Amino acid sequence: MTSKIKLTADEIRYMALFESITGVTAKDCIIDNHSNKITFITKQNEAGLAVGKNGSKIKLLKKATGRNIEIIEYADNIQDFIKNAFIPAKVKEVRVIEKLDKKKIVVVRVEDKDKGMAIGKGGEKVARVRQLLQRYFDINNLIIA
């Protein structure tokens, strides 16, 4: 996690709840009040453990928080991180473009049938991933193609 990430008291509280229910330490947490969703970022290879058998731990978290839960597994590599962030949508290609002003844009190509899933209702999924890319990889924009 980069040093510029500041967690709120609510995010810290939800991360503690996440750890107590799943046994997995959350690397980060984003609360989306508009979609009533909490997104947790786990360390590599820990997302499955956090989900639990048949989603049992997610169901407990949802019941405890009254919110929908999303888990994304962290990856140091931007391509792998993006693939993890858009699961279950199938990512075909990830391109990072650096503009002359040094701003970075990521263009993600997904299967045509998965575009709606990748964008999310009202663009909420792509907005959340955009926020995470800014936090972890200093990416200025994300485009779904």
- pLDDT, tens digit only, all 145 positions of the chain: 445 678 899 999 999 999 999 999 999 999 999 889 999 999 999 999 999 999 999 999 999 999 999 999 999 999 999 999 999 999 999 999 999 898 999 999 999 999 999 999 889 999 999 999 999 999 999 999 9
Q: Which CATH number fits domain 89-144: 2.40.70.10, 3.10.20.30, 1.10.300.10, 3.30.300.20?
A: 3.30.300.20
Report the distance separating Cα 60 and Cα 57, nearest Å: 5
Q: Which CATH number fits domain 9-73: 3.90.1300.10, 3.40.228.10, 3.30.300.20, 3.40.50.12280?
A: 3.30.300.20
What integer pLDDT is reported at residue 5 of this predicted model? 76
What integer pLDDT is reported at residue 6 of this predicted model? 84
Give SS3 for 142.
strand
What integer pLDDT is reported at residue 34 of this predicted model? 87
What integer pLDDT is reported at residue 43 of this predicted model? 95
For CATH 3.30.300.20, list the domain ranges present in the chain.
9-73, 89-144
- The pTM of the full predicted model, rounded to 2 decimals, is 0.90
Cβ-count burial 56-74 (b if 16+ within 10 Å, e if not) = ebbeebeeebebebbbbbb
